[in-house]
Structure 1
């Protein structure tokens, strides 16, 4: 099922070097591990995002090549504080938030925080809208000077009319150049989703050097969608396409725990660091998905979304797929940072994991079938190693190796799970400080090799499974390139971030595509620049900001047909005004020059999504 524009789904939060967001390893923070989750908590409750650089297999088990993002939820503050926020923007977008933190006893050992957030968003696309209230609460208690516990709970609801599947292309791969407001769904498209979470963590400081931590969480997502979307490439002679109608119901739950010991120890006359832990996750997935193709054949120049809504039974005459799945993972991990000499550190670690995944699938309709798939991995070892050499007090050079192992959930045409993805991540680089530590800089060369990576099997039907192609684990692939970043306060009140990434991918071994790019929809070049400047003197209440995200072109090859997506540079701007010590107003102008572009092009039958046209968002924020 293709994700609706502007909506979040049940996706792992990760970033890979095979995409265009690249990360640098060797920054393991042994003092803090919040736990790694697989569902998306509500964004309003997130305080910050922490990035695990490099393959994530050491702590998470499933070693994505680029890393993983750890979303740290908001916690009670040490003092009483309240913030209020109101937002209004283009396309009738409105929002409000109240966030209050309180000290609840005289000793200051009991603290609480509560948050309410509400969004009511329409879109630049016709008919599309979304309403999303979020409620969050957390309590924290210092049991003693050395022990702290924290409880939290969140709830997010989403209701609205989504745009599913995006836009089609010509059957020749060409761009239809449709208006950005084009909506090829139905007036009865609807989504009802909920996301609820329970959180607990405890930390105990054993002594000045050693700390014990425990984290537990339970997340539950429910999704109920009924929609029409486009699912046919357009013949230039007929200018016709067709709607697929679909029904999707999903209940997904994940529970997880993590316990770890971190600390410092002395050996051979030097100070070293250690982390040792165990974690376990259990996920259940219960879904029903049905679709019927060619329900509404239409002329592209006379589309009317107000057509008859089919019953569920009508939809299921095409295909109805009921799937129940369970995934369990247990792992023990250890990592040590050894100070070999004054300038040289060695980081070594390994994780031993046990995986088990079971899927039961019953398909009815035009092609009935029943299948059961099982995947097991016992005592799988994921090693990690790196060397860091301090060239001087400001600059360090490093090399690293990370192992990649990732069980995959995609199915082939026979309904079988693909083999686990395996590989290796190599990296070398420099990191340092400029201008007395006010500016950070880094440069890295990387190479990632993978085997058994899931790829769309375009020899199957475009509705092979879940309204998309089936998958195959074809050949061996490689991603390599370089990454450079500089960020910090380059002058008084002037902050700057600039980054450039070059990424090249290709098939190393493949029957028909050897030597070609296997991930052609990932741009080779990506440049990011953002700067803010607080005006001096009597104008210091004003901060100006601006930046650009630029990338080279990409394409999607489907058989002999190629769908291209040109390069782009999208500029954004910011003006912030400090009204007084409590209130600030900020105006964000996104896509300042109203660049017309596709944020993604994934297929011919659908999957082309326009990026946002020029839009503004005004935010008024008060802090007390």
Structure 2
């Protein structure tokens, strides 16, 4: 793994597809009715405060099993998903448990439009692409607030502490400010519950994995105005890499205070995590771009320590059914100490690997606040839900790097860990400090007339970015940007559950730096999207199906020309089709399926017309979980999933290809409660991902990785 830049951390058919999508809605009868009553189901023991996920505006998710019915992520108001004029993917708590998800990347693998694992198996970072665009940094949210971080001091999320995940696809700056044109990933924290909920769980698995976890929630004493939740986890585990651990300590306390009339809520959310992974992950890639079996990293100098904590609150007060105010706040701190060894070359006789050792010290502190006022009123036959907001984000981050030569690797004996490696004595090879401030003012109106729902919003942002380079002061910069973004979309709700929609939305991202020819500061990189889609969510079935056609254009991207000048004339275009379905087809069967067709194109001088590296044109996935509810097999659960990723190019030059692959996951579980007696609340589960151990190479612009191999986890859970 070459250091400090680390490539693993980088940032025609339209007409026919449109015709097909419009035809899907043909013949659906319109029924004149002012409103639609939508029944929702809250998963027992896993809901939001007071059994209403989303209170406080944290991006809550109301669902029945795998099927999400309402969310706040798309509009920042508690809204029926059919009314949101933008594609949304969701992963419920039940699905996280059925698949025994180990990271946000794992959670998103069965979601349409999402490329998870662009850089192969990486236990240290959550890298996701939505509709072809990287959202790992500027599309990373928790409870509706952006997770700001440094280059390596990024906040990691423990899936055991999550209520669910919502993925909003397409430009979303109108509500969230600076962001990727691909969209955003919003993870939702577990919150206190009204009903007592207690769980303990133990796990063992591949690579000497041992884990224990607990989750406790309910009222404090006899006072149902004060609720608590305490979630904790400890894990000791190796990985398939010789120089990467997967250790974790995690504790997340939460308290909710609410008034007798339930009009006022205050939920305090905290977390402390200590994560240990590996700084050197992956395999040496030859100058010709071929992967070898020589692992990067060395156990003698290997750990990536990530210590992080956060504290914040969600406050809401309802003056009436028509007027509410909210304030959500979070402060977080991340300290990263990354030690790694990299193989930089091979001797002519092929017996020795030359290596360097490096250390990165990266820490970040961030504060985010979102103030909202929501009003609901009618003007004649037209109903309005108006949301106004003012948010603020601040980041202070420092980065230091030092590197030295390391003892060579004997490629015959592969003497990993058998030589002392001292590492660098100073960290002056690179030293920077970054400060970011962003203020956004936004306004949105959701207008309903008969069965039409018009969502229109606008936002203005002021962003300041200051970067100090203490090694190369001429590279320091101080830049101010202002930008207006918006969204307008129209949905129509048929009585049979079909809801077609159209929308247009924009995004922006500050681009720090200057044109090396003119000396002028870069303007923000912008994105715009046109989307047409349809959802089918009947009220009498636990079923959600959707189809979306989209076209996204990202403008003002930077590119380095042959004479090493950096200009801002680049563009990328993404268009395609997404199909998805989630269902509880019977009481015991849950299903999620997704298909993505993505036509991505680089519109830059060097590779104009090419497809970005590691971007598949086709992806398909399906996961099903069935539990026997009667008969001799009562309590037995079976799960099976397939993930297909089509061919991808190894580089932006589009010369060679990574092969297509299909990875298979499976699960088996048993609920011992059906045996009665002392087994009430006891269940066991065995999950296996990539059961055929397909570890094909995945190359991306000069660096090659591998898919994660077979991983088996067994768990024993007791709920009481």
> TM-score of the superposition, structure 1-length normalised?
0.86
Aligned to 2:56: none
Query: Gaps (5+ residues) in structure 2?
Result: 10-120, 137-141, 150-154, 674-679
Q: 1:382 aligned to 2:485?
A: yes
SS across alignment from 1:528:
strand
Alignment partners' CA distance in 2, 1:224 and 1:555? 33
Identify which of 625, 643, 663 aligns with 1:549.
Answer: 643
Alignment partners' CA distance in 2, 1:426 and 1:237? 56
Q: 1:494 to 1:20 in 2, by over 3 A?
A: farther
How many pairs are equivalent?
583
Map 1:38-77 → 2, pairs under 5 A: 38-39=148-149, 40=155, 42-43=157-158, 44-77=160-193
Alignment partners' CA distance in 1, 2:378 and 2:458? 21
Aligned to 2:330: 217
Q: 1:331 aligned to 2:440?
A: yes
Alignment partners' CA distance in 2, 1:585 and 1:564? 42
SS across alignment from 1:129:
coil
Give CA deviations for 1:497-531 in whole Å, capped at 9, x if unaligned: 111001111123x32322222x1311111101001
Alignment partners' CA distance in 2, 1:412 and 1:126? 43
More helix by share: 2
SS across alignment from 1:514:
coil
Q: 1:343 to 1:16 in 2, by over 3 A?
A: same
Aligned to 1:35: 145
Q: 1:189 aligned to 2:302?
A: yes
SS across alignment from 1:58:
helix
Aligned to 1:513: 607
Alignment partners' CA distance in 2, 1:137 and 1:33? 15
Alignment partners' CA distance in 2, 1:248 and 1:372? 20
Aligned to 1:465: none
Query: How far 1:324 moved relative to its partner?
Result: 0.7
| Native 8 Å contact 1:199 1:217 kept in 2 | yes
Query: How far 1:242 moved relative to its partner?
Result: 3.3
Query: How far 1:572 moved relative to its partner?
Result: 0.4
| Native 8 Å contact 2:595 2:618 kept in 1 | yes
Aligned to 1:28: none
Query: How far 1:270 moved relative to its partner?
Result: 2.1
Alignment partners' CA distance in 2, 1:458 and 1:617? 50
| Native 8 Å contact 2:255 2:268 kept in 1 | yes
Identify which of 159, 173, 189 aligns with 2:289.
Answer: 173
Aligned to 1:90: 206
Q: 1:393 aligned to 2:496?
A: yes
Give CA deviations for 1:235-255 in whole Å, capped at 9, x if unaligned: 998576532321111110110
Aligned to 1:617: 713
More strand by share: 1
Aligned to 1:80: 196
Map 1:125-136 → 2, pairs under 5 A: 125-136=241-252
Tell me whether 497-506 or 99-108 shows the greater mean CA deviation.
99-108
Identify which of 574, 581, 596 aligns with 1:479.
Answer: 574
Q: Which has the higher contact order (CA 8 A, sep 6+)?
A: 2
| Native 8 Å contact 1:279 1:332 kept in 2 | yes
Aligned to 1:608: 704
Alignment partners' CA distance in 2, 1:602 and 1:411? 27
Query: How far 1:373 moved relative to its partner?
Result: 0.6
Give CA deviations for 1:91-122 in whole Å, capped at 9, x if unaligned: 10111111212422433111222222101111
Q: 1:102 to 1:493 in 2, by over 3 A?
A: closer
Q: 1:563 to 1:171 in 2, by over 3 A?
A: farther
Alignment partners' CA distance in 2, 1:192 and 1:411? 34
Aligned to 2:65: none
Give CA deviations for 1:356-406 in whole Å, capped at 9, x if unaligned: 00000022xxxx65532112113x210111111234431121111111211
Map 1:510-589 → 2, pairs under 5 A: 510-517=604-611, 519-538=612-631, 539-557=633-651, 562=655, 564-580=657-673, 581-589=680-688
Give CA deviations for 1:425-468 in whole Å, capped at 9, x if unaligned: 111111113694322111111111011235688987xxxxxxxx
Alignment partners' CA distance in 1, 2:143 and 2:303? 38
Aligned to 1:263: 375
Query: How far 1:590 moved relative to its partner?
Result: 1.2
Alignment partners' CA distance in 2, 1:412 and 1:610? 37
Aligned to 2:415: 304
Alignment partners' CA distance in 2, 1:82 and 1:476? 51
Aligned to 1:157: 274
SS across alignment from 1:523:
coil
Q: 1:431 aligned to 2:535?
A: yes
Tell me whether 480-489 or 412-421 shows the greater mean CA deviation.
412-421
Aligned to 2:467: 359
Aligned to 2:318: 205
> TM-score of the superposition, structure 2-length normalised?
0.75
Alignment partners' CA distance in 1, 2:258 and 2:598? 47
Give CA deviations for 1:265-299 in whole Å, capped at 9, x if unaligned: 1013222222111110100001111234x645556
Q: What value does the CA root-mean-square deviation take over the aligned residues?
A: 3.1
Identify which of 129, 132, 144 aligns with 1:18.
Answer: 132
Alignment partners' CA distance in 1, 2:200 and 2:543? 32
Alignment partners' CA distance in 2, 1:438 and 1:240? 60
Alignment partners' CA distance in 2, 1:262 and 1:498? 35
Query: Gaps (5+ residues) in structure 1?
Result: 23-31, 461-469
| Native 8 Å contact 1:323 1:361 kept in 2 | yes
Alignment partners' CA distance in 2, 1:174 and 1:457? 26
